[in-house]
Amino acid sequence: MDTIANLLISIKNSSVLGKPQVVVPSSKLSMKVLGVLKKTNKITDFRESDNKIRVLLAYDKEGKAKIEDVKKISKLGRRIYRSYKNFKDFIGRKKGFLIVSTSRGLMTEKEARSKKLGGEIIAKIT
């Protein structure tokens, strides 16, 4: 079971439906991914209680969700690793960012490039 894929798809689906929040199962990695999403203003806040995480979703002034699309890059059977120089292969033309697992923790690809760290590409968020 891929908890990160479930987390990201739950957030995306709830955002598309215009829901104010979503409740997902708790895990350490989920908390770290949510920390990156909060730091990039893609979600408003999140709180953990009773092995569940309540995620408050973010919308702009027109009511449009700040998370338009998510794509899980590394999967359980196929991990994708890249040097900090090669992150642009996954960004493409759409605006967005990658969540990268580095030796110094989870961060966006912009932070990883500035620190010259490569790692596993977890997901692409637009």
Q: What is the pTM of this model?
A: 0.91
Amino acid 87: pLDDT: 85
The answer to whether the beta carbons of residues 42 and 66 sit under 8 Å apart is: yes
**pLDDT of 61 strictly over 70:** yes
- Decide if 3-57 and 70-125 have a common fold: no
pLDDT band at 92 (very low <50, low <70, confident <90, very high): low
For 6-53, the pLDDT digits (tens) are: 999 999 999 999 999 999 999 999 999 999 999 999 999 999 999 999
- Strands (E) across 1-126 are located at 21-25, 43-49, 52-57, 70-72, 81-82, 97-102, 105-108, 119-125
| 93-107 tens-digit pLDDT | 668 899 999 999 999
Q: So what's the pLDDT on residue 40?
A: 95
Q: Return the CATH fold of 3-57.
A: Ribosomal Protein S8; Chain: A, domain 1 (3.30.1370)
All structural domains of the chain with their residue ranges: 3-57, 70-125
Mean pLDDT score across all residues of the chain? 92
Give the fold, CATH level 3, of 70-125. Answer: Dna Ligase; domain 1 (3.30.1490)
